[in-house]
Amino acid sequence: MNSTKTYNPQQCADSYLAQALRRIGASEAMEHLLQASYREIKFELPLIRKDGSLAVFHGYRVQHNHSRGPFKGGIRYHPSVNWEHSHALASIMTWKTALVDIPFGGAKGGIDCDPCALSSSELETLTKRFIIKLGPLVGPDQDILAPDMGTNAQTMAWLYDAYSQGEGDEPAVVTGKPVGLGGSYGRAEATGRGVAMVAAWAAQAEKLNLTGATVAIQGFGNVGSCAARFLAERGAKVVAISDVRGGVYSGDGFDIETIVHSKEAEEKSASALELARKGEAISNEELLTLEVDLLIPAAVGGVLHENNADQVKARLIVEGGNLPTTCEAAEIFRDRGIPVAPDILANAGGVTVSYFEWAQNLQRYRWERETVHQRLEKTLKKAWDNVRKKAEEDSLSYREAAYVIATGRVKHAIELRGF
């Protein structure tokens, strides 16, 4: 990550929160309440590997706040998953659901494993044990799980199956399921679709023409690859992509449709560099400082920090991933006049369509694909308009405005409920 200070997601999330609470005039006690989690769960997950050895992983679920509705948030499989990451990511789920005004709170969790190093049957066993250990603390009115980094529709299908063994058939306990198993049309690509929408609105506000605009995307998984597709559809030129193994650059741009529909991309058997089939190899660090119009960090947190923010040359940053920008970097971007569409707005398309999936599951009724797309656009546009207006009225960055709106809504809900 090339940062002198170790990235501390918790400190970063707390600092964005504290700034917002000062602006809305929250008391110290309220700040404590909004910062702390409602419940934190950690457990051991032993697994006999296929070679007969015993491995012990750890499962986490942090349920941050449920003042506006049941806890909601993804499950991440990554070696970095720990309490700090889960807590920070859970708290930003609370602000994200409040900002797009859907009736949920915030949660996050996962397993500290490398999913690429486990077989499919090992992953299925771990996943099913994970939800069994959570027991009655999850459920359609309690805490609803979803995909995040390292998990996908198959993982959600296993969670649904294991939960339903004990509780009776209950698809609404988890969103992001395969469409053939109660999933919503449009959820798989919703986060990337939302990133492209927010990028287009922000580009227009910043007088940046998206047609022909050059784009660099860090992370070519679910969010990054879908954002690339939808931005290319809108006429942008994706000139750099990367994954955990490194990146690739081509000034002519890549043919994103061919890349994402290639057999290797579908089987996840090739790196971004191999998939691109042309261009120059670059590192993940180099990608972030390319001379491009639009930069989309769509992988891990803390990649834009005090040691590289000065070198970023993008005209607009749209946060596809969660917490990619440290608060020090956010200040540098503010001083340098580089607008940033923050994660809690830019990647909120995923949880918005998760809400639609949950609503469909509770009604046992499927919406048409077009209905999902239209309602997603309407929800995100309303949130964007609110953020832009607040930013203009109060001379705030988009992130500051988004946090003021979101934390204000959660504080209001807490006060309405009473203590």
Ligand X SMILES: O=C(O)CCC(=O)C(=O)O
Ligand Y SMILES: NC(=O)C1=CN([C@@H]2O[C@H](COP(=O)(O)OP(=O)(O)OC[C@H]3O[C@@H](n4cnc5c(N)ncnc54)[C@H](O)[C@@H]3O)[C@@H](O)[C@H]2O)C=CC1
Report how far apart, in Å, the C-alpha atoms of 227 and of each of 186, 223, 258, 320, 387 are: 13, 6, 15, 8, 21
Among 73, 105, 106, 147, binds ligand Y (CB under 6 A): 147
Tell me which of ligand X, ligand Y, none is bound by residue 223, counting a contact when its beta carbon lies within the kind-specific cut-off of 5 to 8 angstroms. ligand Y
Tell me which of ligand X, ligand Y, none is bound by residue 342, counting a contact when its beta carbon lies within the kind-specific cut-off of 5 to 8 angstroms. none
- At 116, list the tokens: 């690429």
DSSP bridge partners of 144: 72
**224 lies in the binding site for ligand X (CB under 6 A):** no
User: Least distance in Å: CB of 347 to ligand Y?
Assistant: 4
**148 lies in the binding site for ligand Y (CB under 6 A):** yes
Tell me which of ligand X, ligand Y, none is bound by residue 94, counting a contact when its beta carbon lies within the kind-specific cut-off of 5 to 8 angstroms. none
The residue number with the shortest CB distance to ligand X is: 74
**186 lies in the binding site for ligand Y (CB under 6 A):** no
Give the separation between CA 232 and CA 199, rounded to whole angstroms: 12
Q: Nearer to ligand X by C-beta: 21 or 100?
A: 100
Give the separation between CA 326 and CA 338, rounded to whole angstroms: 15
DSSP bridge partners of 304: 325
| Residue 248: closest CA among 269, 275, 267, 229 | 275
What value, to the nearest 5°, has the Cα angle with vertex 97 and ends 96 and 103?
170
Torsions phi, psi for 240 (to 5 deg): -150, 135
**174 lies in the binding site for ligand Y (CB under 6 A):** no
**SS3 of 77-119:** ECCCCCHHHHHHHHHHHHHHHHHCCCCCCEEEEEECCCHHHCC
Among 183, 219, 342, 408, binds ligand Y (CB under 6 A): 219
Give the separation between CA 387 and CA 231, rounded to whole angstroms: 22
**184 lies in the binding site for ligand Y (CB under 6 A):** no
Give the separation between CA 7 and CA 260, rounded to whole angstroms: 31
Q: Nearer to ligand Y by C-beta: 10 or 414?
A: 10
**319 lies in the binding site for ligand Y (CB under 6 A):** no
Is 96 one of the annotated binding-site residues?
Answer: yes
Segment 336 to 375, residues that bind ligand X, using CB under 6 A = 347, 350-351, 354
**59 lies in the binding site for ligand Y (CB under 6 A):** no
Q: Nearer to ligand X by C-beta: 73 or 279?
A: 73
**81 lies in the binding site for ligand Y (CB under 6 A):** no
Dihedral sign of CA atoms 32, 35, 41, 43 in order: negative
**220 lies in the binding site for ligand Y (CB under 6 A):** yes
Q: Nearer to ligand X by C-beta: 105 or 350?
A: 350
Is 94 one of the annotated binding-site residues?
Answer: no
Among 61, 66, 68, 72, binds ligand X (CB under 6 A): 72
Query: Which stretches of 186-341 are assigned E, i.e. beta strand?
Result: 214-218, 237-243, 246-249, 280-282, 294-297, 316-318, 340-341
Residues that bind ligand Y (CB under 6 A): 147-150, 191, 218-224, 242-244, 284, 298-300, 320-322, 347, 350
Known binding-site residue numbers: 72, 96, 191, 222, 354
